[in-house]
Amino acid sequence: MISHIAVLMPARDEAQRIRECLDAVTAAVDRCPIDASITVVADNCTDDTARIARAFPQVTVIEISAGNVGVARATAAIHALSTSGVPPASVWLANTDADSLVPDNWLTSQLDIADRGYDIIIGTVRPDPREYPPDAQREWEKTHVAGRPNGHIHGANLGVRASAYLDVEGFRPMPEHEDVDLVKRLARFRSIASDDAEVITSARLAGRTPGGYAGYLRDILRQPTS
């Protein structure tokens, strides 16, 4: 059984978004029936991301200068596991991003699924309708049908049992697609795709890496980054 949930969040220059993000995460933590922690890794930030995150009493902020999302996620995991006080088999790592909004049931949903014996939850994400053009949103919805999660892997909504995570040596130091790489190496563990707790994520077209979700959204629009 899971007795601790650790929320892991990399952030790079997210001063405009991280307050709303952490409001949502702390609301999910408040609904969680077990002990939970939140670790934000401010990686190579040149703005007030770290200062804003530190204003949340429940949040631990670590500052690094790797400029690498894989390193940032791994750093958050290392800290969370070293301070949880429970065996890795009883820790759940709930991953999201600093430009995303989790629903209130995000952690309770992951906990329920984990307690059913799953080791990995591949959650769905939805581009923020406040940012994404309506015609592009309609194109996106053609391949994202409610109740039929497509299994696309997003670091903004990914859960993994810590013992499985450690078994494959965690996130690798990759500038992007570190989430896909991790899930690929977890293939022998029990996984499930779920849209029970869909996460809203930034629909910006200029992302923090050349590809990633921003690249995917650009492909839908069939236009280059301006």
In terms of DSSP bridges, do strands 158-161 and 120-127 run parallel, antiparallel, or are they unpaired?
A: antiparallel
In a domain? residue 101? yes
Q: Which residue has the tokens 């039929």?
A: 148
Residue 69: CATH number of its domain? 3.90.550.10
Report the distance separating Cα 57 and Cα 62, nearest Å.
14
Report the distance separating Cα 157 and Cα 67, nearest Å.
21
The predicted pLDDT at position 53 comes to: 98
The predicted pLDDT at position 136 comes to: 72
Query: DSSP string of 74-120?
Result: HHHHHHHHHHS-S-GGGEEEEE--TTEE--TTHHHHHHHHHTTT-SE
The predicted pLDDT at position 226 comes to: 40
Based on the structure, what is the number of domains in the chain? 1
Q: What's the Cα-to-Cα distance from 42 to each of 9, 60, 68, 116, 211, rounded to whole Å?
A: 9, 10, 11, 33, 20
The predicted pLDDT at position 168 comes to: 98
The predicted pLDDT at position 222 comes to: 57
Report the distance separating Cα 70 and Cα 10, nearest Å.
9
The predicted pLDDT at position 202 comes to: 87
In a domain? residue 226? no
Residues spanned by the domain of 50 = 4-221
The predicted pLDDT at position 169 comes to: 98
The predicted pLDDT at position 143 comes to: 74
pTM value is 0.89
Report the distance separating Cα 204 and Cα 54, nearest Å.
25
The predicted pLDDT at position 223 comes to: 44
- Per-residue pLDDT 10s for the chain (226 aa) are 999 999 999 999 999 999 999 999 999 999 999 999 999 999 999 999 999 999 999 999 999 999 999 999 999 999 999 999 999 999 999 999 999 999 999 999 999 999 999 999 999 999 888 887 777 777 777 777 777 788 899 999 999 999 999 999 999 999 999 999 999 999 999 999 999 999 999 877 555 666 555 555 555 455 444 4
Q: In this structure, is the dihedral angle defined by the CA atoms of residues 24, 156, 4 and 19, taken in order, positive or negative?
A: negative
In a domain? residue 145? yes
